[in-house]
Amino acid sequence: MFSDLKGARFGETTLNELRRTLGNNGFCYVERGCTISIQDGIALFNSYEIEGNPDVIATFVTLVIGSPTNQEVGDQAKLDGIIIGYRKYLDGIWGERKVFDKAYKPIIWP
């Protein structure tokens, strides 16, 4: 199934493919966490400001089933959801503190 991000397909596009497409690993909310445990694996949350509209945040949720190593996670995590939210709302529910990728920059959203 396609998403609004060109070339991204739910259940198929990997986290590493998203990182290449978006140019960096984004940021995560410290209080919510970068990953959460799910029944059969982990969910990863990578967020990005939208260039030209920094009050809007796009968060890509990828899932890994099983227990991959850190080296494998980027190739095994598959796109499961995209959350679009206002910064003020997300800061209210996930906390204001964030950890940014060293190469972080906002993304261009079509």
The pLDDT assigned to 5 comes to 73
Domain edges within the chain: 15-100
Residue with tokens 């890994």: 64
User: How does pLDDT run across 27-50, given as a tens digit for each residue?
Assistant: 999 999 999 999 999 999 999 999
Tell me 110's DSSP state. -
Q: Side chain identity at 25, as an amino acid letter?
A: N
CA distance 51 to 70: 29
Below-70 pLDDT ranges, the chain: 1-4
- Nearest-5° angle of CA 17, CA 19, CA 25? 155
Are 59 and 46 contacting, i.e. CB atoms less than 8 angstroms apart? Answer: yes
For residue 74 the two structure tokens come to 């980027």
